[in-house]
Copies of this chain bind each other. A is one copy, B any other.
């Protein structure tokens, strides 16, 4: 285990080197439960949509050539031989000079290839006068014009939202093959960390990271499995990590704020398999104690104990991997332009992320103000921040009034 801090960019490269998203396979999902899931295969239509030549207007189905020459002052006469209501299959076909009344959505009778709109006709009993000439296909949505039988309607990897689920319904699909959801194990460590529901002894604090990380996993399209707080016992920790590793697609631990137990988590993680720990500390602030291991190609992240540092490292490093495991589009964070409201200092030789709130000044310029308590790892920091300003390793500070890019925590996702 190399203990030298590496840069943020090197840490990301190390992840790329070792991470190969496992194929988690697919499962059948009932259509209405498929919202926000990812299509596991190209969806090929088994039918034409519409399944018949459909009228898009109320009027008369005709053979277009029978309307040749019709005009406002030059009526063409046709003989009405039937009427086609909605949902009915016409049991007749048109002969030359014949027409059939039809509603919007109605099935064109055989031979008919166009529809004359109601307002362009006049009728007395079965005698119809037509005052406009129509072309073949006019006011008709031909069988298969929307979706052709045998064509790929939705591609593998499509995230299913309202329009896509509408398309699946149109095809009569009651269920659909979707990617399995990646299962991510979450374990909290640290001698002072207490599980919710237990009473808080003096000197101890409740587990925050377990809950914020589980939620962040859900946001990222994963299924969290919360393993609680690890007992302060080397053998027990080893056992639970081994179980977590075999029963999930990724493991995330977060340390107590103390360095003691944290260090022995790293030792155990490193011994779980090869290659073991590949990143042991990153030159960032906050987030320095982050370690990243791979057991084969399965990632094990050990995030810092400070709640805001743990969640920030999740957003920056872990979320893209959860999304890739689920075959989801990777949602980059959005960046907006703002001006530093205060001089912001960086940590020496570390990539520094300064949590900021955004507000407009009187000239309607967006101003980024550092969030109070950002340095102390206060739990409320992330909840009150709109995003963060990134200061490069070789800069000491960003001066008040300078233009900065602010990466936004919210509004990062595709569809809600």
Contact = CB atoms under 8 A, between A and B. Distances in A.
Interface of A: 31-32, 35, 47, 49-52, 56, 58, 85-89, 103-107, 141, 145-147, 153-154, 160-174, 190-193, 196-197, 200-216, 218-221, 224, 226, 256-261, 305, 307-308, 311, 314, 331, 373, 376-380, 382-383, 385, 409-416
A207 B373 CA distance: 54
A209 B170 CA distance: 9
B205 A51 contact: yes
Nearest to A192: B87
Contacts of A216: 162
Contacts of A103: 258-260
B166 A378 contact: no
A311 to B, nearest CB: 6
A21 to B, nearest CB: 19
A58 B257 CA distance: 10
Contacts of A104: 257-259
A47 B196 CA distance: 14
A288 to B, nearest CB: 13
Contacts of A32: 211, 214-215, 224, 226
B52 A202 contact: yes
B58 A259 contact: yes
A282 B224 CA distance: 46
Contact of A413 (B88, B174, B415): B415
A147 B305 CA distance: 18
Given A35-B218, A219-B416, A305-B105, A382 B174 contact: no
B212 A196 contact: no
